[in-house]
Structure 1
Amino acid sequence: MTPDSIKKSFQATGVWPMDAEVILKRFNNTTTRAAEASKIGEHGDRNSWIQLRKVFDAAVADRAKVEAKQLAASLHSLQTQNELLHHENDGLRAALDIKTKHQKKSYPLDLQQPEQHHGGATFWSPRKIHEAREREATKQHEAEQLQLQKTEMKELKAASIIYKKKLAEEAKAERQRAKQARDAARKASADERIKSRALKQQQRAAATSQKAGDTHKKGKRAASSTRISKISRRHRVVDAGSGAAPAPPPPPPPPKMTTRGRPINVPAKFK
């Protein structure tokens, strides 16, 4: 630390000699730079070509160069397109605002003029206007309630149609099930009748065959008994003519048996 350096430090900070502008200049310089930066950032959007030309002339030292001329032409073209886009955007916004305003319907208030009204200007009190607005609000509320009632009736009608359709489908399914049950019962009854008829036919055929066998056996038994009676009579005649002692009677024939081993009872007229 030397005396000269201490004096210089005092002068740089404005301590001695006392000078407040030394410090204020530093802060003012920073503020000015920030303001210039903000102004530079705003250039090019809504500025005209004249304003951009001034900025271009201040930034470019040699404006006679080809590159500088090309840059100026490009800036001019971009600025023109930007202005056209801004005009188009403003027109579209205005048209949209007008369309939105037209969509809002306005209804005149029902102020209920007196019966004896002969034309001319009519002045309405705030109370009359308030009553007219209340009547208009009541009308709108009634219209909304009517629309809500119509919507509910429409929904109820749709639900009723769906319910009736469901009932019809259930009734149709029940009829189909009943028909299937009747068809099954008819089929079972027909099968039972077919089985009964087949059984009766079998029984009838068995009875017919048994009757035919019995008739054939009866014919054989009758023929054998006739032949035996003739032989016995012949023997009796021979014995009577010879005068010899009568021979002992022949033993009775063995009882006839069926194929199953059962005895056959011969009727009395065939004995």
Structure 2
Amino acid sequence: MKPELIMKSFHATGVWPMDADAVLKRFNNHPQQQDEDSEVGEHGDGDTWIQLRKVFDAAVNNELLHAQNEELRREINPARTRSSQRTTLVTRDGDDWHGGAVFMSPRKLRTLRARKAVEQDEAEQSRLQKTHDRELKAAATAYKKQQAEEAKVARQLAKEERDRERKARAAELAAQRALKKQQRDAATAQKSHDTPIGSKRKASHKAARIPAKRRRVVAAASRDNAGPPAASPPPKRSLRGRNIKTPARYK
């Protein structure tokens, strides 16, 4: 038999989906009413299909809205979806051979509880130590930042002080130069005031005078009785004191 025939037989007998009226209708001899019901069930009128479609659309929209509202509630209240933290005491040895049930003596239970308490204390100490380390690191960072700011301010103040000293030194040098210039101008003015107007600068040396030539007329008769020859005249000198050599033809 085909699966379609099996499903039709289930539907006809009311086995699936469960329907007791499918069997009871066979005992009611109302063929006309049965035909009308079958026609309406198979075909139906136009209003029935429109209403069914509206109901189906409304049901689908309702389900979608419910799903969206549920998601929004989960996002708004995430604490409700968190799983509660549970503490389970387990033994260190012999826990992998049984199915999960553990039978412990009071002594074993006290030991496990003590170990669990120690582990919790260690975890708390570790958390506190990490918090303390973070605080120390933040304090060290803040201290370094403060030191850097103070060093920056000190450098700025030192720079301003050097600028002031440089400006003061420049002003002092300018004042000294102005005073020296004023003194030189005053000395020059005093010197020009003391010097007479008509005075002239004397020559550093006098120009050498050119000796005039002297001609001696000696009589021919007295040449025999002449004494020793006369000394040669002094050499001629120029205005600058240099000797002038006279050509032989002019001697």
**What TM bracket, shorter-length normalisation?**
0.3 to 0.5
The structure with the largest helix share of the pair is 1
- TM-score, normalization by structure 2: 0.44
- TM-score, normalization by structure 1: 0.41
